[in-house]
Structure 1
């Protein structure tokens, strides 16, 4: 079964969607120059070009400056590939911010973990479940949301997502018991969850292959930054206002998201085979009309991303990245209240400021998206495949390992607060981010037709591992201490992330992939 992401054009059989395939074809021509006549080479080159009309070529040149594009757009202004760059950036910006909010809402409660511990008369470790439950749900529920979007489109459902989240954010303001707060947090996560997965599909529907790494990076860095900025900014709110005002801020932001989707959103799902299914009027798009009626919502489709467990070229980098996310993000991010509050008695504002180190490291690490596209473009000219992106993961693994060791050693050695443990946090955040965009882009390169399902798979694996971690982290810290605990985490990255990725890279490079 194949999930239709709405980006596959009628010209797919005429022009390879994978730019690496074209590189191989041209390399083959070069290798055969000695045995072919000039006329034969010209004939083959002509056959490899897209068989489109001169009118279509001129249309694409006027729109994009060239018709040599992958994937090849249709000759229609409503095709998302033909939108203006301004419109594409606007849609990417809104869905990237939606992804940002999925993790922002999760960690926004980190600075008030101590406050709620006193309010509900519970240990901080139990309050942490209000945070960790969202980590799991935002990874799992897109498995339901995305099949709906693959049938009905994205814009209307994203509006419903943000309005529903707003309602439960408002409900959190008036929650005075642990059970009520947990219910609000669960429902909030269910409603906001599509933002963490649908960004990859929208990037795939609106961009060309040579833009995919950097555009995926915008969405990916937004998701990663949300985990840090939520705790950072809400620390200031909690320092000067009652903890409930954190949820007031969430409510207002969710309302703003819904308004932006309503007035500025545009449907990126586009049915190339049945143009009558596409609605160009943005307000008429706000009704349930199947854009892809053939995409039935079934149990098989919901669990479909699970097939990638058997595809090692996708599973290995996904698992490697997820292990790094668990150790270099969750083990530092979610557990900072447990570590910092207990060891240094930090207040909400001081606790939030610790996350500035993550923000700095992540922002610098986003160079990975830009470098990924540049590396692939350079490699394609030399007959290299998509695995060339994986070179950028190695400095990422190294930075994560060093960062975890530095944090563990320095937090154990510190008797009073100092900045050295945060240097480890910044290094780990840098390492995680520099590998994020290349790994996502590489996995999508393996099968562009299933970009949406691949991103769902990556998200579900990452968030499931991230949910499991907080259950055993406190036990590790109390029994082994921080130095040994974070040393073990660094070793796990070496054994479960670096080595499998290296083996995959060597194998793929030998096969020219």
Structure 2
């Protein structure tokens, strides 16, 4: 529901030099927020879809994101059992299967985004789920001792297919939701992806403790099958060109169910306009260009360090928990290890609640305090608690627990705090960068995915030597200080982000900074201050 208000244009031409503003006709939500972007009058415009249809679309994308990491980390607690099956003396070498899946998740979107611009996001999403299902079956059937290499390859290709949903889902959110709604939407999408990091290993522990390790993949294959069925039945592409030139294309889109499904997922009418090869190459290059922009380097540095350390120590947590007490471990069985991971579940749940209540409210409150003028940097203020306070504390507590072999409940507290902090940080940073390059949401999300996973891919190769050299306490204590240092990037953006954004590539930079989006003191304007 929206309220349309028309204004007299008191300043018909923008005057950039003088600092005057231009008033425009706008639609406002009932609570006084300007609808950004402004929807068209067409009921087929995704911005005009019902709340139920928007929620259903987001739910399907979220299930796809969940299946990605649930499958990729589906054997995270199966190292010891698989080491026996593949005749590997060191269980740590089995963690390379998770590293391979993680690498695929980071790299896959870079190739999928150009294809989405050619064939449509929804079509690529569906077939990526089909590919993820196929690689899951492949992984579950690699049971012979000489098939370890094939198993690693299956995990890599599973990651390549699985990493597509989170990146393309970011563009879907930008198509469906208004500015004042995106914080919650990005929280739900990203935490669905991150929930798989928790659920996959937890179920893995229960499975390998009671039945064949191959079941770790069969259950996630079932989730992927459900996503495929829901997508075929309910999912529509959210691309919508509001320019007058695209009217004929919009009218040609089929309304009947079978024709619509055929056009969306297989063949028929084009979902999006055709692109030249030069444009496709530009789309492929965009994530790399976005990745080297100062605003991305400063924000991405935080997620690089924070998520990298957190992800790695979650990966090796199995080694500490299931290791013998004589070697400094806790002597847990796989089932007990799985039960321990429920503290991460609570971390994700609390992060979801925090994001629901904070990720839109805090930025909009700051916006209201500044006269209703929006700046993307307002979103970063939700990072103070999880990024600057809780994460360093959790890493330090984690290190002390391992160094002095404290009671496992202290380790559980550290794990819970770390789970909350990292899961609360990821949606905010992704949302911020997407809004800085809002015409390139998929490319921005893919870039942040690389930042999120790059360090966690490399750290398993040197962290064991680091721990053996200085001990787990010093290793994690240094990680805590590194996380504080990484927070300087967002601090700088909060202070001078509007200026730093202008140092990005002009062909990519597009944001909503300067828009007046909130009714203040009886003023019902919706305008861009220039």
Shorter-chain TM-score bucket reads 0.7 to 0.9
Structure (1 or 2) with the greater helix fraction: 1
Contact persistence 2:104–2:158 (CA under 8 A): no
1:369, CA displacement in angstroms?
Answer: 4.8
2:421 to 426, 431, 436: 431
Q: CA deviation at 1:231?
A: 0.6
- Deviation per CA, 1:263-302: give whole Å up to 9, x if none: 1211112233424444354313222435121364634421
The alignment partner of 1:94 has SS state of: helix
SS at match of 1:344: coil
Please name the residue that 1:484 is paired with: 474
Whole-Å separation in 2 of the counterparts to 1:124 and 1:79: 52
Count of matched residue positions in the alignment of Structure 1 and Structure 2: 461
- Note the alpha carbon deviations across 1:78-101, whole angstroms, 9 max, x for none: 111111111111111111121112
> 1:351 matched to which residue of 2?
337
CA distance in 2: counterparts of 1:244 and 1:78, whole angstroms:
44
How far off its partner does 1:338 sit?
A: 2.1
Alignment TM-score, normalising by the size of structure 2: 0.81
Q: Does 1:50 align with 2:25?
A: yes
What residue number does 2:307 align with? 325
Look up the SS of the partner of 2:359 in the other structure. helix
Partner Cα distance (1:308, 1:377) in 2? 26
Q: How does 1:61-80 map to 2 (within 5 A)?
A: 68-80=34-46
**Shift, 1:210, TM fit:** 0.4
2:402 to 401, 411, 428: 411
Q: What is the correspondence of 1:43-442 to structure 2 with a 5 Å cutoff?
A: 47-50=22-25, 68-122=34-88, 123-175=90-142, 176=144, 177-273=147-243, 274-278=246-250, 279-281=253-255, 282-283=260-261, 284-288=263-267, 289=270, 291-294=272-275, 296=277, 298-328=280-310, 330-342=311-323, 343-366=329-352, 367-383=354-370, 385-397=375-387, 398-414=389-405, 418-442=408-432
Contact 1:369 1:437 in 2 (8 A): no
State whether residues 108 and 162 of structure 2, in contact with CA within 8 Å, keep that contact through their aligned partners in structure 1: no
TM-score w.r.t. length of structure 1: 0.84
Structure 1: distance between partners of 2:454 and 2:82: 25
C-alpha deviation, 1:115, in angstroms: 0.5
Question: Does structure 1 retain, via aligned residues, the 8 Å contact 2:392–2:484?
Answer: yes
What residue number does 1:54 align with?
none
Q: 1:246 to 1:276 in 2, by over 3 A?
A: farther
CA distance in 2, matches of 1:68, 1:299: 36
What SS does the corresponding residue of 2:54 show, helix, strand or coil? helix
Moved more, 167-176 or 128-137: 167-176
The secondary structure found in structure 2 opposite 1:419 is: helix
Distance, in Å, in 1 between the alignment partners of 2:319 and 2:301 is: 27
CA contact (8 A) 1:213 1:370 kept: no
Q: Structure 1 residues 423 and 280 mapped into 2: Cα distance closer, same or farther (>3 Å)?
A: farther
SS in 1 for 2:360: helix
Q: CA deviation at 1:509?
A: 7.5
Stretches of structure 1 that go unaligned for 5 or more consecutive residues are 1-13, 15-21, 30-43, 52-56
SS at match of 1:77: coil
CA distance in 2, matches of 1:67, 1:400: 33
Compute the displacement of 1:473 (Å): 2.0
The whole-number CA distance in structure 1 between the counterparts of 2:86 and 2:121 is 39
Q: Is the 8 A contact 1:314 1:446 kept in 2?
A: no
Distance in 2 between the 1:446 and 1:510 partners? 12
Give 1:458 deviation, angstroms: 0.5
Change (3 A) 1:67 1:285: farther
Q: Against the structure 1 CA distance between its residues 301 and 423, is the aligned structure 2 distance closer, same or farther, given a 3 Å change threshold?
A: same
How big is the shift at 1:349?
1.6
Deviation per residue, 1:35-72 (Å, 9 max, x gap):
xxxxxxxxx7xx51237xxxxx7xx98xx898941101
Indicate whether 1:500 and 2:497 are aligned. Answer: no
After superposition, the C-alpha distances for 1:389-430 in whole angstroms (9 at most, x for unaligned) are: 222212112211100110111122227x62111111111111
Give the equivalent residue in structure 1 for 2:509: none
CA distance in 2, matches of 1:424, 1:111: 19
**Quick check: 1:138–1:196 contact (8 Å CA) kept in 2?**
no
CA contact (8 A) 1:402 1:490 kept: yes
Task: Tell whether the 8 Å contact from 1:369 to 1:438 is kept in structure 2 after alignment.
Answer: no
Contact map agreement 1:206 1:268 (CA 8 A) in 2: yes
Name the SS for the 2:37 alignment partner. Answer: coil
